[in-house]
Structure 1
């Protein structure tokens, strides 16, 4: 079975990230209209700036030219995942305990499929999200395997 483009790119990008003390957050390879886009999202404890993105783009572009894992033409974009970054891996969710999150689920839990509030706990199997409803707070226990999307949230 051949590897997916995103897996190959992640393998090529990981050593570059390690050298720069950066985290590879996500790799996307999508067709939008007639064009293909290879998007690399990077981050660090202190955040990333345009210079970080530019250097990673330059180095990764060289690696991609050398190994040529993508047969069609594409645009390479390297950026920060933003303030409301997706939490794709269990370790990302673990690091987000104590922060505001937005969680959508595959099926309803207590009549809801969308939860936005403070992630108060994550043990690898369940997320506990404390949601503020008017003047009271309610905790929801969400099985990890039922979480469709989890991302950081900015709550006003």
Structure 2
């Protein structure tokens, strides 16, 4: 099993026990040190205290993994950035009412506020959009 899959399998239950999701795990190398970047998300917005708590839990599990042996590693745990693509129905539900820019497979661009989201479609202003028809979608940053 590849290293990232083995680590993901070990930390996913810990993350889910805190009510969050493992969004992504990447492993890079800087010299002799492995850098493990864990992106954690939730159905609500994560705050710094929540990220800190889940970091401690993840760190304890990773330190005990035999697959890393005595390898030095740096653990970085973060929440997804505003620029991350919306790729799953829960991403859309989490951001109801937010401004989004959707590029369709056809090249058409739809901008508007996120309305209802099901497992297969989302309402962007007055447009019902099928997830299958979306090429890329991301939140637009708004300044108030």
Query: What TM-score results when the alignment is normalised by the length of structure 2?
Result: 0.66
- How far residue 90 of structure 1 moved from its aligned partner, in angstroms, is 1.8
Query: What TM-score results when the alignment is normalised by the length of structure 1?
Result: 0.63
**Per-residue deviation, residues 99-141 of structure 1 (Å, max 9, x unmatched):** 2223334x225xx2x43321223332223323xxxxxxxx444
* CA separation of 1:11 and 1:145: change in aligned 2, threshold 3 A: same
* CA separation of 1:30 and 1:3: change in aligned 2, threshold 3 A: closer
Superposition RMSD on alpha carbons, in Å?
3.4
- How far residue 30 of structure 1 moved from its aligned partner, in angstroms, is 4.9
Contact kept? 2:89, 2:119, Cα under 8 Å: yes
Equivalent residue number for residue 78 of structure 2: 79
* Unaligned segments of structure 1, at least 5 residues: 131-138
2 CA distance for matches of 1:99 and 1:75? Answer: 34
Out of 24, 28, 40, the residue aligned to residue 27 of structure 1 is: 24
* CA separation of 1:119 and 1:52: change in aligned 2, threshold 3 A: closer
**Per-residue deviation, residues 18-70 of structure 1 (Å, max 9, x unmatched):** 4434x125113154887754222234535321x43333323212212322446
Equivalent residue number for residue 100 of structure 1: 99
Question: Residue 145 in 1 paired to residue 140 in 2?
Answer: no
* Unaligned segments of structure 2, at least 5 residues: none
**Per-residue deviation, residues 71-97 of structure 1 (Å, max 9, x unmatched):** 876532101224455434222323433
**How is 1:1-156 mapped onto 2 (pairs within 5 angstroms)?**
2=1, 5=4, 7-21=5-19, 23-31=20-28, 37-44=35-42, 45=44, 47-49=46-48, 51-69=49-67, 74-84=73-83, 86-105=85-104, 107-109=105-107, 112=108, 114-130=109-125, 139-156=126-143
